[in-house]
């Protein structure tokens, strides 16, 4: 009996200590934002990951905003988090990158993407990696070779889809973009490879934003295994390329050149993780946006009619209507850019943008303790009735007269501050090219699917199936 009493007492003492340390962090000299830290160890993780099927603010966030206001504290996957839904606070956080805050993710996210990932890099290391990527997807390269290649790949895949008759847009756009970037990055061709890289990415994606329980049978475990297997394929390609003297004119050539420098910043582990991250970032998020784009314009025939008008005007201005999009034509697609902005505003593909406090920081009368994570929630701003009239409506015209190529305090679809997404321009080009050839050369109807689930990332449980044919 006495053993039970001792154990129970020890447990209660430990629980009391946990509660005290959660509400009274040692480094904090001010008042914490209101909120609850949830249960010991798991915090409020389960509710955070609870799926919902709305184009709306996550219920987890909405419930706490109603109770605590625009700034509140919680605990997710074992980390203390301050959630900010205040545009002024968000702007301040992004402007303080490198001084008071650094980019940060949960440990489970870092375990998935790797310690060497660009997501974990700061300062000069991040700037160096960003500049490397810009050599691939920067404006000058987009205007030249990439635009031609994207046009060619889009036309070829659309032709193939029309031959099949019915396709799942989420699946085929993901496949199209993956194949293009796998070739561009590492000259990889899935049809000729013995080990299938795309299959491992599918396993990876299924558990990317899931409860971090690493035991066989869970989505998180499958995600880690998918990452391990995909990284192995990339590493093998990297090792084979080191032995070759034949240039491949791809991104891997550039990475190997950087690795071989005497005074190098890049090593092989970082290079492999960079390729892994770029393949994920390029194909998954853009294909999700494309799928929603087709759903939205199919549901809004007046928007589709205006898109058709804009793109047929471009065709009539050409000497050859079957020609490919030029850079000047792309830049003239004003309504198309409005549609893209409105799609990604409602898509809210990224559920949160994370930073870590480097020191105690005071905002709005509250203290964010050093070491705590701050999560900015873009959907709250994108769906705010004070910032957007009828915010849940798909209305591209709301972007008329606004800057269509920049982020702001209330538009963070591509991130914010110095961490603005380096791939934003190529993602928009991919979507515009896709729209142009689909609208001008094909007819389609949605046959089934289109449901979404957020958990909290965006998932299409039954895809979006369309019947497609040439005009």
Q: Which residues are annotated as a binding site?
A: 421
What would the two tokens of residue 339 be?
């549609």
Helix (H) or strand (E) holding 257, with range, is: helix 251-259
Asked, as a colleague might, if the bond just before 456 is cis with ω within 30 of 0, I would say: yes
Calpha distance 322→316 (Å, rounded): 10
Q: What is the DSSP secondary structure assignment for residue 468, as one 8-state letter? A: E
CA proximity to 102, closest of 370, 414, 351, 348: 370
CA proximity to 286, closest of 129, 429, 118: 429
CA proximity to 209, closest of 103, 78, 55, 106: 106
What would the two tokens of residue 232 be?
């192995």
Half-sphere exposure of 457 (CA within 13 A, CB side): 13
Helix (H) or strand (E) holding 431, with range, is: helix 424-441
Q: Which residues are annotated as a binding site for heme?
A: 421
What would the two tokens of residue 243 be?
């032995």
Calpha distance 318→86 (Å, rounded): 47
Strand 373-376, strand 79-84: pairing? parallel
What would the two tokens of residue 398 be?
């709301």
DSSP assignments along 192-221, one per residue: G-SS-HHHHHHHHHHTTTS----STTSHHH
CB under 8 Å to 178, separation ≥6 — which residues? 190, 198, 201, 279, 282, 283
Conformational region of residue 464, where left means phi above 0, alpha means psi within -120 to 50, and beta covers everything else: beta
> Quick check: 30 and 366 in contact, CB under 8 A?
yes
CA proximity to 347, closest of 459, 236, 239: 459
């Amino acid at each position: 009996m006495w053993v039970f009493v001792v154990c129970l007492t020890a447990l209660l003492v430990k629980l009391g200590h946990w509660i005290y340390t959660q509400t009274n962090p040692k480094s904090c000299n001010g008042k914490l934002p209101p909120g609850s830290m949830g249960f010991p160890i798991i915090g409020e993780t389960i509710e955070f990951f609870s799926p919902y099927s709305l184009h709306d603010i996550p219920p987890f966030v909405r419930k706490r905003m109603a109770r605590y206001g625009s700034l509140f504290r919680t605990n997710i996957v074992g980390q203390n988090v301050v959630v900010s839904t205040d545009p002024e606070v968000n702007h301040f956080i992004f402007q303080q990158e490198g001084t008071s805050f650094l980019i940060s993710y949960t440990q489970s996210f870092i375990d998935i993407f790797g310690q060497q990932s660009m997501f974990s890099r700061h300062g000069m290391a991040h700037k160096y990696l960003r500049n490397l990527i810009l050599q691939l997807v920067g404006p000058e390269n987009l205007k030249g070779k990439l635009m031609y290649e994207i046009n060619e790949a889009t036309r070829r895949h659309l032709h193939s889809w029309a031959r099949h008759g019915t396709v799942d847009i989420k699946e085929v756009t993901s496949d199209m973009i993956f194949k293009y970037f796998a070739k561009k990055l590492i000259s990889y061709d899935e049809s000729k490879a013995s080990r299938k890289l795309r299959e491992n990415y599918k396993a990876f994606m299924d558990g990317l934003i899931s409860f971090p329980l690493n035991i066989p049978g869970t989505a998180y475990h499958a995600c880690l295994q998918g990452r391990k297997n995909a990284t192995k394929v990339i590493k093998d390609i990297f090792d084979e390329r080191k032995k070759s003297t034949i240039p491949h004119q791809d991104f891997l050539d550039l990475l190997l050149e950087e690795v071989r420098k005497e005074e190098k910043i890049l090593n092989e582990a970082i290079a492999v993780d960079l390729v892994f991250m770029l393949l994920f970032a390029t194909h998954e998020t853009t294909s999700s946006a494309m799928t929603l784009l087709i759903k939205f314009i199919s549901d809004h025939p007046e928007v589709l009619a205006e898109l058709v008008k804009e793109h047929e005007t471009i065709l009539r201005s050409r000497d050859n209507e079957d020609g490919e999009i030029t850079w000047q034509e792309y830049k003239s697609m004003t309504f198309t850019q409005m549609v893209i902005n409105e799609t990604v505003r409602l898509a809210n593909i990224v559920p949160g943008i994370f930073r870590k406090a480097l020191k105690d920081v005071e905002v709005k009368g509250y203290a964010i303790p050093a070491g705590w994570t701050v999560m900015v929630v873009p959907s709250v701003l994108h769906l705010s009735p004070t910032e957007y009239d009828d915010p849940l409506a798909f209305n591209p015209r709301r972007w008329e007269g606004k800057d269509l190529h920049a982020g702001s305090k209330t538009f963070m679809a591509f991130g914010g501050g110095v961490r603005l997404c380096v791939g934003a321009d190529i993602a928009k080009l991919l979507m515009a090219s896709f729209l142009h050839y689909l609208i001008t050369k094909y007819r389609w109807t949605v046959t089934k699917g289109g449901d979404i689930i957020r958990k909290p990332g965006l998932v299409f449980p039954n895809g979006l199936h369309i019947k497609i044919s040439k005009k």
